[in-house]
Amino acid sequence: MPDFLDMYRRMVLIRTFEETLSDLFGKGVLGGTSHFCIGQEACAVGVIDAARPTDWLVSNHRGHGHLLARGLDTAKVMGELMGKIIGYCRGRGGSQHLCAMDKCFLGTNGITGGGIPIATGAAFALKYQKTDRIAIVFFGDGASNQGTFHESLNIASLWKLPILFVCENNLYGMSNPTAKSCASGTIAPRAAAYAMPGAAHDGFDVQTVYDAASQAIARIRGGGGPELLELMTYRFCGHSKNDPRVYRTREEEEEMRQRDCITVLEQKLPSLGYDSETITQTALSARQEVAKAAEVALAAPTGGLADATEGVFA
């Protein structure tokens, strides 16, 4: 039985974290760009809770949810995004290149589809070293059109590698709808070409995600080989910081918002025995954690010359 209250706490944490980032961009505190996963929180939390903390994660450009779902230190993630020395990568990586080896988080990735072979390699190492740990990689519908997706699924299947491929299908790759980018319409059918199980699930319901991921992970850990999990979801926000969202209608967005994964879970919690006071307090504590993290990160210093120019080689 998963800890639904803590799932809820982290889903609120992720959302508040990104809303806070949005404010910070407005204030000019953050540089570059950032890809929010607002609306997709259940995918991150459901899958990651189905795994063990020692299973390795690889993420993509839209990775804040995965990082916080895994329980990375919120202030150190925020610090990394602000380019501060307290960040996980001392400010060198930022949002799209954030790694936390102590949390078995092998990195977010700025190259669409770039993380898929890396995760396949992690799975290779775990099998080679005869562990019972697995690798999990998150990517989008757009990434599933990269050669690396097809090459890696093929290799993983041939070599029976312990890896779960998680496609968060939010219906768009930047502005490009899946109808125009994926010949098969959805991603799961592609699994058949690589002789592995693959199915689509409701990515708005954290329990559905958790159950589907748990089943897949049990199979994979048992030596059954890789699996593809497609999670149907939606990002309520734009692709990145500045996106007027001309490629979709406000009506479509409103319709999707009715299915908000946080609301879905919030409405379910009382039936699981949590009273409204507990739920409110949990959400509040998550928001406070973000506020505190932002405070800590804002106050932290940036690195110096050595942080910029040294450390290219081990």
Partner 1 sequence: MPELYYSKAVNEALDEELARDPAVVLIGEDIGLYGGAFGVTKGLFAKYGPERIWETPISENSFTGLAVGAAMLGVRPVVEIMFMDFIALALDQLLNSAGKLHYMYGGQVKVPMVLRTPGGAKGGYGPSHSQMLSNLLVGIPGLKVIAPSTAAQAKGILKSAIRDPNPVIVIENKRLYPQKGEVPDDDDFTLPLDRAVVASPGTDLSLFCYSSMTPVCVAVKNAFLQTGVNIEVVDLVSLQPLDTETLFASLRKTGRAVIVEEACLTGGVGAELSALFAEHCLDSLDAPIVRVAAKDVPIPSSLALEKLVLPQPEDIITAVKENLAY
Ligand X SMILES: Cc1ncc(C[n+]2csc(CCOP(=O)(O)OP(=O)(O)O)c2C)c(N)n1
Residue choice 3, 53, 54, 101 for contact with partner 1 (CB under 8 A): 101
Q: Can you tell me which of 155, 187, 229, 286 binds partner 1, judged by CB under 8 A?
A: 155
The Cα 155–Cα 137 span in angstroms is 15
The Cα–Cα gap between 108 and 257 comes to 26
124 is an interface residue for partner 1 by CB under 8 A: yes
Q: Measure CA 2 to chain center.
A: 18
Instruction: Tell me, by CB under 8 A, how many residues bind partner 1.
Output: 45
Cβ burial of 71 (10 Å; 0-12, 13-18, 19+) is middle
* Residue 75 near residue 293 (C-beta atoms within 8 A): yes
Binding mask 52-91 for ligand X (x = CB under 6 A): ---------xx-----------------------------
Q: What is the Cα–Cα distance from 88 to 269, expressed in whole angstroms?
A: 33
- Using CB under 5 A as the binding rule, whether residue 173 contacts Mg ion is answered as yes
In whole angstroms, how close is the CB of 243 to Mg ion at the nearest point? 13
C-alpha–C-alpha distance, residues 128 and 235, integer Å:
37
**Residue 252 beta carbon to Mg ion: minimum distance, rounded to whole angstroms:** 15
112 binds ligand X (CB under 6 A): yes
Based on the shown chain and the rule CB under 6 A, indicate whether residue 94 belongs to the binding site for ligand X.
no
Tokens of 47: 């899958």
Establish if 140 lies at the interface with partner 1 (CB under 8 A): no
| Residue type for position 275 | D
Mark the segment that binds ligand X (CB under 6 A) among 73-81, 107-115, 199-207, 244-252.
107-115
Q: Which is nearer to ligand X, 74 or 170 (CB)?
A: 170
Q: Of 92, 241, 248, 259, which lies in the binding site for partner 1, with binding defined by CB under 8 A?
A: 92
Using CA atoms, how far apart are residues 87 and 308, in angstroms rounded to an integer?
14
The binder of Mg ion chosen from 95, 96, 108, 170 (CB under 5 A): 170
Least distance (Å) from ligand X to the CB of residue 143? Answer: 4
Residue from the set 174, 199, 200, 298 that interacts with ligand X by CB under 6 A: 174
Q: Which does 62 bind (CB under 5 to 8 A by kind): ligand X, Mg ion, partner 1, none?
A: ligand X
Nearer to Mg ion, 15 or 61 (CB): 61
Using the minimum distance from each CB to ligand X, give the nearer residue, 74 or 145.
145
CA 81 from chain centre, in angstroms, equals 16
Strand boundaries in the chain, DSSP class E: 56-58, 135-140, 163-169, 172-173, 176-177, 198-202, 227-232
Angstrom distance (rounded) from CA 277 to CA 283: 10
Instruction: Indicate the residue among 141 and 289 with the shorter CB distance to Mg ion.
Output: 141
Neighbours of 130 (CB within 10 A): 6
Q: Distance between CA atoms of 86 and 228, rounded to whole angstroms?
A: 36
d(CA 127, CA 159): 10
Q: What angle do CA 275, 279, 281 make, to 5 degrees?
A: 115
Instruction: Using CB under 6 A, pick the residue from 170, 186, 233, 282 that binds ligand X.
Output: 170
Is the four-CA dihedral 15, 206, 48, 158 of positive or negative sign? negative
Query: What residues make contact with partner 1 under the rule CB under 8 A?
Result: 56, 58, 87-93, 97-101, 106-107, 110-111, 114, 116-126, 128-129, 135, 147-148, 151-152, 154-155, 158-159, 311-314
Query: What residues make contact with ligand X under the rule CB under 6 A?
Result: 35, 61-62, 110-112, 139-143, 170, 172-174, 239
